């Protein structure tokens, strides 16, 4: 098992993993419940630079030369500029308004999306990736990590709480009520 910064060649796999983590949210963004359309959007942006979903903002777990997990995180202060290309794409390609709530803010490194391939779940890859991110950002860079978890996802919430995240408040994103958790020293 190897954790590394993602590269552009990982983009298609990252897109598939991110879609697993946020399919409903992407459907709300594009205005249609279509997995192919959602994946097309994510593949486009994971292969590009300077946006929320860029490979530049991702780390991956590689096992036997295959990406099995990915985490997408970035400085919350950059949300507006990182979201701008996505806003433009969605409003022009889907002719829909795109004005989601801010899911993060300055003062935290935001874990936007995180997923492990279904066939690899339960093997500890997700926990190892989260511990890597915690060490890298919280302990090495003295930053605060933040993430959102759906209220009806107790398994994920339990994982985050066991790793040391604390619930700090509630946020809303595209009609969903989400718990906002942070990890800080």
Task: Give 73-110 pLDDT, tens digit per residue.
Answer: 999 999 999 999 999 999 999 988 899 999 999 999 99
Tell me the two tokens of residue 42: 């994510």
For 92, residues 6+ apart whose C-beta sits below 8 A from its C-beta are none
Beta-bridge mates of residue 146: 110, 182
Which residues lie across from 72 on neighbouring strands? 58, 113
pTM of the predicted structure, to 2 decimals: 0.96
Q: How many CB atoms lie within 10 A of CB 114?
A: 25
Q: pLDDT per residue over 27-65, tens digit each? A: 999 999 999 999 999 999 999 999 999 999 999 999 999
pLDDT in tens, 19-37: 999 999 999 999 999 999 9
Burial of 163 (0-12, 13-18, 19+ CB in 10 A): middle
Q: Is the dihedral of CA 35, 40, 42, 46 positive or negative?
A: positive
- The structural domain count of the chain equals 1
Examine the pLDDT at 9 and tell me if it is beyond 90: yes
> Is a pLDDT exceeding 90 seen at residue 4?
yes
Count of H-run helices and E-run strands, the chain: 5, 7
Cα(40)–Cα(46) distance, rounded to whole angstroms?
10
CATH code for position 25: 3.40.630.30
CA distance 55 to 65: 18
Tell me the pLDDT band of 147, cut-offs 50, 70 and 90. very high
Which domain covers residue 42, as residue numbers? Answer: 2-183
């Amino acid at each position: 098992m190897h954790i590394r910064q993602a590269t552009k060649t990982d983009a298609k796999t990252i897109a598939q993993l991110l879609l697993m983590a946020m399919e409903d949210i992407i459907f709300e963004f594009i205005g249609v419940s279509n997995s192919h359309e959602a994946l097309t959007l994510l593949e486009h942006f994971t292969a590009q630079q300077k946006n929320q979903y860029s490979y530049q903002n991702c780390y991956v777990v590689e096992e036997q030369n295959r990406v099995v997990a990915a985490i997408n995180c970035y400085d919350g202060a950059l949300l507006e500029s990182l979201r701008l290309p996505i806003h433009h794409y969605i409003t022009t390609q889907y002719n829909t308004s795109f004005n989601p709530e801010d899911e993060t803010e300055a003062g935290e490194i935001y874990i936007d999306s995180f997923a492990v391939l279904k066939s690899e779940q339960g093997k500890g890859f997700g926990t190892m990736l989260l511990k890597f991110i915690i060490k890298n950002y919280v302990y090495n860079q003295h930053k605060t990590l933040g993430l959102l978890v759906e209220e009806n996802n107790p398994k994920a919430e339990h994982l985050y709480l066991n790793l040391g995240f604390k619930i700090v408040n509630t946020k809303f994103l595209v009609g969903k009520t989400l718990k906002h958790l942070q990890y800080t020293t």
